[in-house]
Amino acid sequence: MKLIDLHNHTNFSYDGISGINSLVENAIRNGVSILGITDHEFSIGDRIDEYIDAVNYAKEQYKGKITLLLGLEIGTRPYPEAFNPEITKNLDFCLFESLDDSRAMDFNKFLDWRKNFHCPQGLAHTDIFKLSERYNTDILSILKKENIFWEINFSGNYNYYFDLISNREKQDAVKKSGIALSVGSDTHWVGDFDKKRLVQTNELVRSLKNPLALGIRDYGIGR
Ligand SMILES: [Zn+2]
């Protein structure tokens, strides 16, 4: 089975401990086929070009061993004034984090704002069911319509993960919506990497048969 993991931090982030090479080598050891690196826009700051170059260099370095994707995690609590969305022309994708947080920007404002971004977009560790309740609307179908994917974050820090893996009703709603899904470990240090959950979460996403984020195909169904 192919494993994807589209949410990872290196020491370009203030809370990341591992360097790019140790992160990538850990992913290869654990059987990850497609790895997304998504450091925080606010801690990269003016080192953004250095970050882009470093990930692109690693892409070449590990070619044939793993597919690396260049991402960025963008804060929404509150609106990141200093961030210039033009930079996203150079990215494979970006993740908006924690839109379900009480301090996060308004969801409708987010839908407008995100149109300034020039790469495919997903939501990191966001409880969509909680958001649907807050706005009294079906956020799953809005995201599907807007072509925004949803990350299943298995770091253990977000309850919606435990909720989703045990709640058939919610799984059915996700399946029915047809929203694209991704898997994220949210690794900040390779020592914390949880292979078992990585496999379980990839299996869950596979079992729902939703499309994968970023048009990723060849997911090994039936292998
Ligand atoms: Zn993160």
Per residue of the chain (223 residues), give pLDDT as tens.
Answer: 789 999 999 999 888 888 999 999 999 999 999 999 999 999 898 899 999 999 999 999 999 999 999 999 999 997 788 889 999 999 999 999 999 999 999 999 999 999 999 999 999 999 999 999 999 999 999 999 999 999 999 999 999 999 999 999 999 999 999 999 999 999 999 888 899 999 999 999 999 999 999 999 865 543 3
Task: Check residue 79 and give left, alpha or beta (phi > 0: left; psi -120 to 50: alpha).
Answer: beta
Rounded to the nearest angstrom, the distance between the alpha carbon of 222 and the centre of ligand 1 is 31
Which residues have a Cβ under 8 Å from the Cβ of 103 and sit 6 or more positions away? 77, 78
CA distance 119 to 86: 10
Rounded to the nearest angstrom, the distance between the alpha carbon of 207 and the centre of ligand 1 is 25
Rounded to the nearest angstrom, the distance between the alpha carbon of 193 and the centre of ligand 1 is 14
| pTM, two decimal places | 0.95
CA distance 57 to 95: 21
Rounded to the nearest angstrom, the distance between the alpha carbon of 187 and the centre of ligand 1 is 7
CA distance 219 to 223: 9
Asked if residue 211 has a cis previous peptide bond (ω within 30° of 0), the answer is: no
CA distance 27 to 4: 10
Rounded to the nearest angstrom, the distance between the alpha carbon of 37 and the centre of ligand 1 is 10
CA distance 59 to 92: 12
Distances in whole angstroms, Cα of residue 210 to Cα of each of 29, 180, 206, 213, 219: 27, 6, 7, 9, 11
Looking at the domain that runs over 3-215, which CATH code has it been given?
3.20.20.140
